[in-house]
Amino acid sequence: MKKQGFMTTGEIAMLVGVVIALAVWLLFPRGTGSRVIVTRSGEEAGRYDLETPAQMTVLGANDFSLTLVIEDGQAHVEDSTCPDLICQHHAPISHDGEAIICLPGQVVISVEGGRRHGADAVSG
């Protein structure tokens, strides 16, 4: 009677596949794949790679506009025509879930993917 091997060829191939998938999942830098999502009045207006430097003008509601800059894996508002300039003064964002909000222009710039702060939401 032929003794059965420890694993068949198919099982070994599958195990190798699982190990490679796990290695990629664990070792690949988490920041990669982060996107900057821009919405205007609740509708998505653009989606950009956080790792690719870019500068663009975002037209908001009520004739306000702002300049969005993506560099060094972060996004920030360089300048804005809105009256309160809270968006312009906001620190650069880079973590999953962080957002810069321009209320007068109804523009939201948020980061999706990559590293995340621990909480489900932030009050304040």
Partner 1 sequence: MKRLGCLALCLLLLTGCAGGDPGQTVQIFAMDTLMELTAYGSQAQDALDVAVAEVNGLDTLLSAQREDSEITAVNRRGADGAAAQVSEETGELLTRTLELCADTEGALDITIHPAMQAWGFYSGEYRIPEREELSRLQKQVDYALVSVEGTTVSTQGQTIDLGAVGKGYAADRIVAIWREMGVTSGLLYLGGNIHCLGAKPDGSDWAVSIRDPNESNGILATVTGRDMAVVTSGGYQRYFEENGIRYHHILDPETCVPANNGAVSVTVIGSSGFTCDALSTALFVMGLDGAAAYWRGHRDEFDMVYYTEDGILWYTSGLQDRLELRRGLEGRALT
Q: Which stretch binds partner 1 (CB under 8 A): 27-35, 48-56, 63-71, 91-99?
A: 91-99
Q: Is 63 in the site for partner 1 (CB under 8 A)?
A: no
Contacts of 27 (CB under 8 A, 6+ apart): none
65: amino acid identity, one letter: S
Is the four-CA dihedral 38, 104, 90, 95 of positive or negative sign?
negative
Q: Is 121 in the site for partner 1 (CB under 8 A)?
A: yes
How far, in Å, CA of 26 to CA of 120, rounded?
Answer: 23
User: Between 1 and 119, whose beta carbon lies closer to partner 1?
Assistant: 119
Q: Is 29 in the site for partner 1 (CB under 8 A)?
A: no
By CB under 8 A, name the one of 32, 41, 55, 57 that touches partner 1. Answer: 41
* Lookup: tokens for 6: 């420890």
Within 10 angstroms of residue 114's Cβ, the number of other Cβ atoms is 20
Query: Which residues of the chain form contacts with partner 1 (CB under 8 A)?
Result: 7-8, 10-11, 14-15, 18, 39, 41-42, 61, 83-84, 90-91, 93, 95, 98, 101, 103-104, 106, 108, 117-124
